[in-house]
Chains A and B, each alone.
Chain A
């Protein structure tokens, strides 16, 4: 058992008495109570557990908590601003009424927001490449695509 120090959504968090190999996913959910990040498959096939590590989208079910120490972790709970202003991706998700059951959408939005941070004007092919790791069992793929394009357009306006 070990003590793991994490930086999550801008805050330093200390998790004591934890197996250092515990995937980040379960430390976020069980130790820190950040349950927005979801478990779907445990083998990096579904993307429901996607979070940002230093801005890059990663499958938190595959990252040992100790390996995340020192990195800046962002989860879906940290996408919006502290004052509650939603991230442009969250806004677009609401405007396009993307969620059906909603279970995969935290992971979808984390992949989409990372994509837009790196590529503010993605093409359909860029979206395909960035989003192929996120399964949606309800089949909301069209609306996800539309929402990403519309979030990108909003970012262009702001820029």
Chain B
């Protein structure tokens, strides 16, 4: 194993922090959000009502600075109502394609009873002291903001009602609101919000806890379909994305790093590069050894992107690879296969009951080895950031999923105070977890600094993007499972073979959650792990951990139901057992009643049990992740030549109430296609520490025309608070399709991607 530097480990810890923050559980009870209050602010040009809303009392006075006024608690978003009736709502989180810029304002507008046609939406500035969490990750945007946004709208509405009540000298209880009007039904009078805004602004702000929130049955905006608020800008090619940013006097930068993580620059043909047309500067960047910030490399600055790209092709760097990654996918597989022969791994993730005893006395035992590969995020917009260092301050324009932690990372990179870092959030051309990291932002800042404070746009090539990812870690599972004479699941052992940087704990997103399905559902349950050294960085990829684990676990579960001779639908429902929360007092745990409901719904909608012609089959898989309960049924055909057609995937999910129907359906469609694309054809392989795929020609993402299945999605809008949808609909896709392949052909898929086993898309 290579020498692992402290910097490398610091980067690992940072990713873990990001993931923990992204997946932090919010309290189940709104009462836990005590001391919530709202601040009324003045100073809106042309009059009107401005409400700042916030949570907690730890960050005082910052709010006032943000809007220039009174001292108060720190707000985390703003609602403004102008005298002309225009309602402006700031959306605080990054838009990465998950639709949050539309969904957040829908929640506020609902409780405000706003006329959506008069709502204007703007991206909030990045300032976590004012806005709180501003990251997009872990499918947590909605659950962490639900109460806060509803109360913001409701307080605004209450003040407008009070203003109207004073105007008409009637009790507020006699008034109702609808589409930006306060209405007094008894007298037939109505007043527009715009006309009331200045009067409302003169009133005291009520305590949010005293303001009633709507019953779900009264929702008029939440649950409907509202198309993306920036769609017009997208379809007209407006400059929205990170790559579209420009500054006066800006140079275009590229950055070449060692293809094996951790290599340093020994020498480079910098003089030759500096002489190339359009090249203004070329220099070595030492970096701080953290893959999450700046690794060593060579920066080239030119007057155009093409000038920089062309010069990069002429660049010759001799790397010192003393401490660089030497990983080999072939060796990793060989070692994993060897380790799989052990009865169990040295690390215990969870051990319930007595697995060995249950296996020994079982009526039927099944053993199987599953594996899935490293994969890349490959968002279509390659990593980039525009940065301008001025003295000991820096301003950045960055397509990041995590602008708030980026502030600290950039500050650390430059050695400046965090308050001297300003980040402008751009639209993000795809996240998928890649942009939870901010390495490209730190690099841009460092390059601008070393260039002498020139504004630079750092643009990675697609090849850079594929070579320097935080890959979804590969995973290997050696399973043993058993059913008793009644066909009941009695034992489950999973020896998980995964990776480590420090030799002690699993690499990022390569750990096994102790509560992952079917933990707590099998009396004798054991997950152990073995760790293989890995120098290449890993990280969260859409539905981290579950995206790989679900394939192995939900496929192996099907092997057990098949061994028991039971129908998988009936078996899965039996495994869930009595209705209960598996972990009490948290609505972020698996609830067996919700699980059974989605399993039944998916089966019913897909026509489970229907007689199918030869060579055609259905597969069912459930998985719980990111607080979402999802079951999916795939219907496929497979011929003797392993030509596969995925006819349909039926999705059934429970994430509580749906905020935006079109957005939620889009996330399910995207998850099914992402899931199929990845399980069918995608694999990153590494040799000598170097990723072997460099562009889409060898990383064939699914295309139009590649028999993309019909997708039908159904939601159970249960009574629980809403949770996110970006991730949980993805994990069941691969096992549902693999279970369907088994039903259609009798062939069990235990290795992904499918192309490795000779499958083609018909």
Binding site for B on A (CB under 8 A): 1, 18-19, 22-23, 26, 29-31, 33-43, 45-46, 48, 75-77, 79-80, 86, 90, 93-95, 97-106, 109, 127-129, 131-145
Residue of A with least CB distance to B699: A45
**Residues from chain B with Cβ under 8 Å of A109 in the complex:** 235
Distance of A75 Cα from B277 Cα, bound (Å): 28
A79 to B666 CA separation, bound complex (whole angstroms) = 25
Mark the stretch among B236-244, B286-294, B569-577 that contacts chain A.
B236-244
B250-286 interface (Cβ within 8 A of A): 252, 277-278
Shortest CB-to-CB span from A63 to chain B, Å, is 13
Indicate if the CB atoms of A131 and B237 lie closer than 8 Å.
no
User: What's the nearest-Cβ distance from chain A to residue B680, in Å?
Assistant: 13
Tell me the smallest distance from the CB of A27 to a CB of chain B, in Å. Answer: 8
Answer whether A134 and B237 are a contact pair too, CB < 8 Å, given A26-B304, A94-B227. no
Q: Mark B220-239, 1 if CB is under 8 A from A, else 0.
A: 00000101101110111111
Interface string of B697-729 (1 = CB under 8 A from A): 100011111101001000000000000000000
Mask: chain B, 302-316; 1 = CB below 8 Å from A; 0 = not: 001111011000000
> Counting CB contacts under 8 A, is B414 at the interface?
no
Instruction: Note all chain A residues with C-beta closer than 8 A to B430.
Output: 101, 103, 137-138
Contact residues in A for B244 (Cβ distance below 8 Å): 35
Q: Is B427 an interface residue (CB 8 A)?
A: yes
Please indicate the chain A residues that have their CB under 8 angstroms from the CB of B704 in the complex.
127-128, 131-132, 134, 136, 141, 144-145
Contacts of B381 in A (CB 8 A): 38, 40, 101, 103
Interface size on B, residues (CB 8 A): 66
Contacts known (A38-B381, A141-B704); A26 close to B231, Cβ less than 8 A: no
Pick the contact of B669: A18, A86, A140 (CB < 8 A).
A140
Roughly how many angstroms separate A93 CA and B236 CA in the complex, as a whole number? 11
- For chain B, residues 74 to 100, give those with C-beta under 8 angstroms from any C-beta of chain A: 95-99
Report the stretch among B329-337, B405-413, B550-558, B670-678 that lies at the interface. Answer: B670-678
Closest chain B residue, CB of each to CB of A46: B696
Q: Which of A35, A100, A105, A134 has most B Cβ within 10 Å?
A: A100
Find chain A residues with CB under 8 A from B428 CB: 101
Residues of B within 8 Å of A37, CB to CB, are 237
Flag if A132 contacts B304 (CB, 8 Å).
Answer: no
- Asked if B429 is an interface residue, CB under 8 A from chain A, the answer is yes
**Distance in Å from the Cβ of A98 to the closest Cβ of chain B?**
8
Q: Which residues of B contact A46 (CB under 8 A)?
A: 380, 462, 696
Q: Is A35 in contact with B674, judged by CB distance below 8 angstroms?
A: no
CB < 8 Å neighbour of B666 from A94, A104, A143: A143
Question: Can you spell out 6 A-B residue pairs with CB atoms less than 8 angstroms apart?
Answer: A26-B305, A41-B695, A80-B236, A101-B427, A132-B704, A135-B701
Residues facing A in B669-696 (CB within 8 A) are: 669-674, 677, 695-696
Q: Which 6 A-B pairs have the closest CB atoms?
A: A36-B237, A139-B673, A101-B97, A128-B705, A103-B429, A76-B237
B interface, CB within 8 angstroms of A: 95-99, 225, 227-228, 230-232, 234-241, 243-244, 246, 252, 277-278, 304-307, 309-310, 378-382, 427-432, 459, 461-462, 662-663, 666, 669-674, 677, 695-697, 701-706, 708, 711
A40 touches B462 (CB 8 A): yes
Classify the interface of chain A: helix, strand, loop or mixed.
Answer: loop
CA distance A26 to B695 in the complex (A): 19
Known contacts A26-B305, A40-B382; A143 and B669 CB within 8 A of each other: yes
Does A135 contact B696, Cβ atoms closer than 8 Å?
yes
In the complex, chain A residues whose CB is within 8 Å of the CB of B379:
101, 103, 137
Across-interface contacts of B459 in A (CB, < 8 A): 39
Closest to B463 in A: A42
Which chain B residue lies CB-closest to A95?
B227
Bound state CA distance, A100 and B428, in angstroms?
A: 10
Contacts of A86 in B (CB 8 A): 232, 235-236
The minimal Cβ–Cβ distance linking A126 to chain B, given in whole angstroms, is 10
Partner of A90, one of B235, B241, B380: B235
Kindly report which residue of chain B lies nearest to residue A43, judged by CB atoms. B695
Do A97 and B672 touch (CB < 8 A)?
A: no
Contacting pair A101 B380 (CB below 8 A): yes
Query: In this complex, what residue of A is CB-closest to B710?
Result: A142
List the A side residues contacting B235 at CB < 8 Å: 76, 86, 90, 93-94, 99, 105, 109
Q: How far is the CA of A101 from the CA of B382 in the complex (A)?
A: 13
Q: Which residues on A sit within 8 Å (CB–CB) of B232?
A: 86, 94
- CB of A30 within 8 A of CB of B305, answer yes
Q: Are B306 and A132 in contact (CB under 8 A)?
A: no
Cβ-defined partner of B252 (8 Å) among A30, A99, A145: A30
Cβ of A137: which chain B residues have Cβ within 8 Å of it?
378-380, 430, 432, 674, 701
Please, which residues of chain B bring their CB within 8 A of the CB of A98? 231
Q: Which residues from A are CB-within-8-Å of B677?
A: 139
Decide if B237 touches A77 in the complex (CB within 8 Å).
yes
CB-contact partner of B237 in A23, A34, A145, under 8 A: A34
Given contacts A77-B237, A97-B227, A106-B237, 12 further A-B contacts (CB under 8 A): A19-B307, A23-B306, A33-B246, A76-B235, A76-B236, A94-B227, A97-B225, A101-B431, A131-B704, A138-B430, A139-B669, A144-B704
Across the interface, name the chain A residue whose C-beta is closest to B703: A132
Q: How far is the CA of A19 from the CA of B663 in the complex (A)?
A: 44
Shortest distance from the beta carbon of B658 to any chain A beta carbon, whole Å: 14
With known contacts A77-B236, A138-B670, A101–B227 Cβ distance under 8 A: no
Instruction: Give min CB distance, B287 to chain A, whole Å.
Output: 25
What are the residues of chain B within 8 A of A42 when measuring CB–CB?
Answer: 309, 461-462, 695
Residues of B within 8 A of A95 (CB): 227
A41 surroundings in chain B (CB, below 8 A): 462, 695-696
Contacts of A138 in B (CB 8 A): 97, 430, 670, 674
Taking a contact as CB atoms closer than 8 A, the residue among B252, B378, B672, B705 that contacts A131 in the complex is B705
Give Cα A134 to B696, complex, Å.
11
A101 to B244, CA, bound (A): 14
Instruction: Give bound CA distance, A101 to B95, whole Å.
Output: 7
Q: How far apart are the CA atoms of A55 and B98 in the complex, in Å?
A: 33
A127 to B672, CA, bound (A): 21
Check A97–B231 contact: CB distance below 8 A.
Answer: yes
Contact B304 A30 (CB under 8 A): yes
* Residues in A neighbouring B309, C-beta threshold 8 A: 42
Given the interface pairs A41-B695, A101-B97, the reply to whether A29 lies near B670 with Cβ below 8 Å is no
The CB with the most chain B CB atoms within 10 A, among A33, A86, A98, is that of A98
Q: Are A90 and B236 neighbours in the complex by a CB distance under 8 Å? A: yes
CB-CB under 8 A from B672, the residues of chain A are: 139
Q: How far is the CA of A77 from the CA of B244 in the complex (A)?
A: 14
| Contact A100/B695 with A35-B239, A94-B232, A138-B670 known, Cβ cut-off 8 Å | no
Chain A residues near B663 (CB-CB < 8 A): 97
Q: How many angstroms between the C-alpha atoms of A140 and B234 in the bound complex?
A: 14
- CB of B237 within 8 A of CB of A29, answer no
- Cβ A100 vs Cβ B382 within 8 A: no
Provide the residues of chain B in CB contact with A101, threshold 8 Å. 95-97, 379-381, 427-431
Q: Which residue of chain A has its CB nearest to the CB of B694?
A: A43
Cα-based distance from A116 to B241 in the complex (angstroms): 28
Q: Closest residue to A110 on the B side, CB-wise?
A: B237
Closest Cβ of chain A to B648, distance in Å, is 12
Distance between A77 CB and nearest chain B CB, rounded to angstroms: 5
- Whether the pair B666, A1 counts as a contact (CB closer than 8 A) is no
Could you say which of B97, B228, B239, B702 contacts A97, with CB atoms under 8 Å apart?
B228
CA A101 – CA B662 in complex, angstroms? 14
- Decide: B429 and A102 in contact? CB cutoff 8 A: yes
Distance in Å: Cβ of B469 to nearest Cβ of chain A: 13
The answer to whether A104 touches B380, judged by C-beta atoms less than 8 angstroms apart, is yes
